[in-house]
Chains A and B, each alone.
Chain A
Amino acid sequence: MRTEEQPAGPPPGNEPDKRQAFTRRKILATLGVTAAGGALAMVNYRDDAQAATTSRTATAITEAKAAKHAWCMVIDLRVCDGCKLCTLSCQQRHQLPEEQTWIKVYSMEHEGQTFPMPVPCMMCEDPPCMYVCPVGSTFRTDEGLVLVDQDTCIGSRACMAACPYEARYFNWKEPPPVKKMPLPPTPQMPVPQQKGTVGKCVYCADRLPNGELPACVSGCPMGVIYIGDLVTDVAVNGLGETVVLSEFLHKNDAVRYKEELGTNPRCYYIAGHGQSLGAGA
């Protein structure tokens, strides 16, 4: 349970615990690897969550099985009025240029009606972006957050091709200067970003362990977006409305976007077109 004590902690590789710190990346950084045989033992095959963050020891697997959180989002389209304050809050918090909309409000069409639909990262349990990253810069924490290590991203953009949800954004030029940040950038809070690397929605991974809400959740005046935990079965929106997650999803027939792709997204939608606000009645 060592990593649990600091879930938002430093990026992988900087774990203070000695055994945890002795990860593949650390080994490589210290020794360098030339022999093919050596490389074979240490390279990572991205078939599970732990491969990303920890060495695949028995301990690590036990830890993941007992992960205390499984973060997810629920987006209640019945109350979304398309104001895009979620996007703005996110852009402010992460000091993003205008074209980077880590949560983007699409105008969708259904039977002649249009309705707004915010799309953050789906935090897939089988993230296609992670599998195709040639250097393992995209990884999945054992709490289910798919993050990018911009310190190692080579900018191949394979992840952008693989993501079915258009959730990834590339820094095509030097990111605009940012206000001074108290901490250096981490995968959990990648601000400032690096030119030539990929950025994406992180569910404000630095906030979650402190009981704080992601920027888009707290920034939504309609209470559309819930941040939830599939393990503790609780979700809350920006209005402070708290629900039993499983019940909420079940009773409202929540669906996952592009379920048929088998990515097992951890973002749920409650279908609607703002009708709770009187829209499209």
Chain B
Amino acid sequence: MTTNAMTTNVREAALRPFGKPSRLWWLAITVLGAMVVGGIAAWVVQLRDGMGVAGYSDQAFWAIYIADVITFIGVSYGGAVVSAILRLTGATWRAPLVRMAEGTAVITVLVGTALILPHLGRPDRVWELLTQPNLSAPVFWDLVAVSTYTVASILFFTLPLVPDMAILGQEHGQQLGHRRATLYAFVSRGWTGAPRQRAVLAGALGLVSIMIIPLAVSVHSVLSWAFALVSGPWWHESIWAPYFVVAALYSGVALVILVVAGFRRGYHLEGLITERHFVRLGFLLATLSATYLYLTFADILPGAYVGEPSIAAVFTELLTGHLAVYFWVFIVAAGVLPLLLVALPWTRNVWGMVVASALVAPAMWVKRMLMVVDPSTYNNISGTFSSYHFTWVAITITLAAVAAVPLLLMLLFRVVPLLSIDEIEEMEEASTDYPPAEPSQSAGRDANAVGATGTSHRAAGTLGVLMLIALLGMFGVGTADPAQAATPQSASVVTPRSASVSTATGAPTITIKGVEGGGKVQLTATLTGANGQPQADAPVAFSFSTTQFGTPARLVPLGSITTDASGVAKLILGGDADHMYLPTTVGPQEFAATFTPTAADAKPITSSVTVNITVARSAYNPAPPKPLAGVGKGLVVALFAIVTAIWLTMAAQVWRVRRVTHGVQKPTTSSA
């Protein structure tokens, strides 16, 4: 077998999806399309009737849609791992898989992002995330991380299309059809495959593949922080960010296996994608499965061991309660069985890996449901659980998202080549490890590529590390800036104003005087008995009057003082522990002294005085600022700087590739 034959084989295979679609293809498109339309219709119903129709309630306020969002954005990481990680580790066997993996990454992240809409109560206001974002909210950073990652994955998908589209457009133009040919000519304009162009493209791809790994890490971390940054049991876990990242990798690899298996069967790519590919992906799957199981154990053990009531309740519900059946199904379907299927030699084949992946993908959705619903249905006060019930609306919308992925992939690969032709051919030429191809031709390509990747490696690596560090402490603890004291005045003017109210002759009388001196208010009440003599040993109740809670004014008791031998009761505001009140506002304040005679028919007698308060202080003592207050603001600035740098770097890669093709545009145009 010659390299030439293999090349023809690859190109022929890549062109297969562009032929006349089979009846099965149309059937699949129709069914999947109907599911998507059904989901949109269900969403319209939900928009009309409210989110209650999706099974939500105040006791299950987060449920299926947020689990869907996590699941779909999660599986998108599969593209990054198969493509970027394998690219960086130089695993050449990845070549026939990368295009499908990257396409899956793009499609699933778009579908996952779209699923945020049914999650929102008012999707019509979603633009407010851009026009009035709250920078301390994890959801805002979800938006930043997801959009950055989406652009990066689109870039990662699009850049390698340039040489492929050049090859197909220039050498197989007649098989493309008019519209594809026009598109391919536009995308690959100026591409000649010159060593310099190859070096630049490899450099750009190397940089993007380095960037996409921390970007994906950031996406899944920030998604987890939508949960971990609240105090709810099981959500408030430091392990959740890495837990989400591994979950994303795990489910992502499973989906790549399924997608690759689907297209392999549909377009008969068995010659290019062999059992070896599946087994290698299966090993990845098994590694991630074991890691995820380990993290699951590490996640649950500390809370269950310490047994704080709320966390213990949530884990009891999960492990032995109403949710236990789902949890243990997850353990079997996403833990035990995949590991067995990979471990046992007689299932370590295409079917075994496909079955394992078909178990993992939905089981990981179940796991996300558990992680959302268990704490969401827990009442933080009563410690009881309610439940979430699936409705047809919720299920229809979720199934629509499930259908949208293969649907969009099938449509996508009607437009762009299913296989990374250039890369496969390059691998075949350069590698001895890969199936029976002989090394030949252009040895310079790889050398160039490695060099370019190396230079960009450091910059991007530093960038990624910086971003991770910054993301880790993303949200500072804020402090309220509470009300402060009214400004105290230093002058202490004594201004007793009015003094006494006398009652009918023969009845006891009371008079009150109030002075402010040395910053203290002293109230003096003099009680005269019915006999005209000072009344001793009688309780006088002091109070002040407030209109804060409406008129007529209310009297606020300041405490009782017993009169002395001369009939005098003195109260110094704030004078002792039983009389803590101090004036809170400057200006006239009315105080009163009341005496209630012991005789059954006697009425209380009251005297009031207005004191012009000059020294006042707010009774309110704000809490001390939190130790980490203020970190948040610096972090926001740093994060914006990092995000800007990432976007500029990505734009620069497009510009680089455009420029290097632009330089040779003329000869290409003339040849094409």
Interface residues of A (CB under 8 A from B): 24-25, 28, 32-33, 36, 39-40, 43-50, 61, 64-70, 99-100, 106-108, 119, 125-128, 131-136, 140, 142-144, 152-158, 160-162, 164-166, 168-174, 194-198, 210-213, 227, 229-234, 236, 240, 242-247, 250, 261-262, 264
Contacts and interface: CB of A to CB of B under 8 A. Distances in A.
B456 interface: no
Interface centre among B133, B137, B380, B623 (most CB of A within 10 A): B137
Please provide the 9 A-B residue pairs with the shortest distance between their CB atoms, ordered closest to farther: A155-B121, A196-B121, A67-B483, A172-B52, A47-B478, A233-B619, A211-B550, A134-B139, A173-B50
Interface in B480-530: 480-484, 486-487
Given A99-B58, A236-B554, A65 B235 contact: no
Nearest to A47: B478
Contacts of A232: 546, 548, 584-585, 619
B475 A162 contact: no
A274 to B, nearest CB: 18
Contact of A152 (B125, B140, B143, B558): B125
A136 B548 CA distance: 31
A32 B132 CA distance: 10
Nearest to A210: B550
A247 B581 contact: yes
Q: What is the size category of the interface that chain B forms with chain A?
A: 35 or more
A134 B137 contact: yes
15 contacts: A119-B381, A134-B134, A135-B129, A135-B137, A136-B132, A152-B132, A153-B121, A154-B122, A160-B58, A164-B232, A170-B121, A231-B620, A233-B584, A247-B579, A261-B231
Given A44-B135, A246-B580, A160 B61 contact: yes
A262 to B, nearest CB: 7
A24 B477 CA distance: 23
B340 interface: no
A169 B551 CA distance: 34
A231 B581 CA distance: 11
Contact of A154 (B57, B125, B138, B581): B125
Given A152-B128, A154-B120, A229-B548, A246 B619 contact: yes
B580 A173 contact: no
B51 A70 contact: no
B415 interface: no
A201 to B, nearest CB: 13
Given A128-B230, A152-B132, 12 more contacts: A25-B132, A132-B229, A132-B230, A134-B137, A144-B482, A144-B483, A158-B137, A172-B58, A212-B549, A213-B550, A229-B548, A234-B548
A45 B622 CA distance: 21
Nearest to A100: B58
Contact of B62 (A46, A47, A161, A231): A161
A164 B481 CA distance: 21
Contacts of B626: 126, 262
B121 A234 contact: no
A143 B484 CA distance: 11
Given A170-B58, A173-B50, A64 B122 contact: no
Nearest to B558: A244
Contact of A155 (B122, B136, B618): B122
Contact of A133 (B57, B137, B226): B137
B379 interface: yes
Interface centre among A133, A158, A198, A210 (most CB of B within 10 A): A158
A132 B138 contact: yes
B227 interface: yes
